[in-house]
Structure 1
Amino acid sequence: MNVALWIVAGLLAVAFLVSSAKLFVPKETMAGLSAASRWVEDFSPGALKIIAGLELLAAVGLILPAVLDIAPVLVPLAATGAVLLFVGAIITRLRRGERATAVGDGVYLALAAFVAWGRFFGAESFVG
């Protein structure tokens, strides 16, 4: 179970790290990348930077506290934050009528919930 939690946390961290490129890529460029990226048109550049910052924090929070053994309780908290980010992503996708891409966000949501549950309550818990 511990190996599965590490793999899933690593995959999520990579996805968040890639997604946090919004910090450096202009909004217009992001919107033109693909149809799945057009959601950025609904947000201001400042809001996109905040979202990207949260994604970067999630990427770091899913891995570093456990690797460094410094406050590993931050891992399930980061996973819970990731769940909230994906809930917001799904709401945005559904509001825009992008049901197909909402399914992918739902998969990420399930993975983040698995890490949160496993690190809060599972046999490999970092809490208590």
Structure 2
Amino acid sequence: MAKADKTATMSRLHSAARLARTALAARLLAHGFYAGQDQIMLALDREDGQTPGNLAGKLGVRPPTITKTINRLQAQGFLEKRASNADARQAHIFLTESGRETIRAIEKSVKKTEKQALKG
């Protein structure tokens, strides 16, 4: 593939990714979520009770970023922090009942966005 073709392909991929992120952000906002919060919620749905450090590692973000997002989700009533039984300095993050109830809406938002992106 010629360099110009590679550049054009990469440009289209970047544009498609940006459009998908924008569409997903709008869908999530309708359910009270901001960009990035969905990933934490879905990670906890797969494995509840993770530490902030573990979540940060799995999602590829820095611990201060995950802490800020966890605090916002906790203030919204979607998550709760509990001290570790083994080490009270360590927190574990759990979905609340309200948080569990929103998982389906998040999953539907992601699927609709994927479907729209692949539709063209």
Give the TM-score normalised by structure 1: 0.30
Structure exhibiting the larger radius of gyration computed from Cα positions:
2
Relative to total residues, which structure has the larger helix share, 1 or 2? 1
Relative to total residues, which structure has the larger strand share, 1 or 2? 2
Give the TM-score normalised by structure 2: 0.32
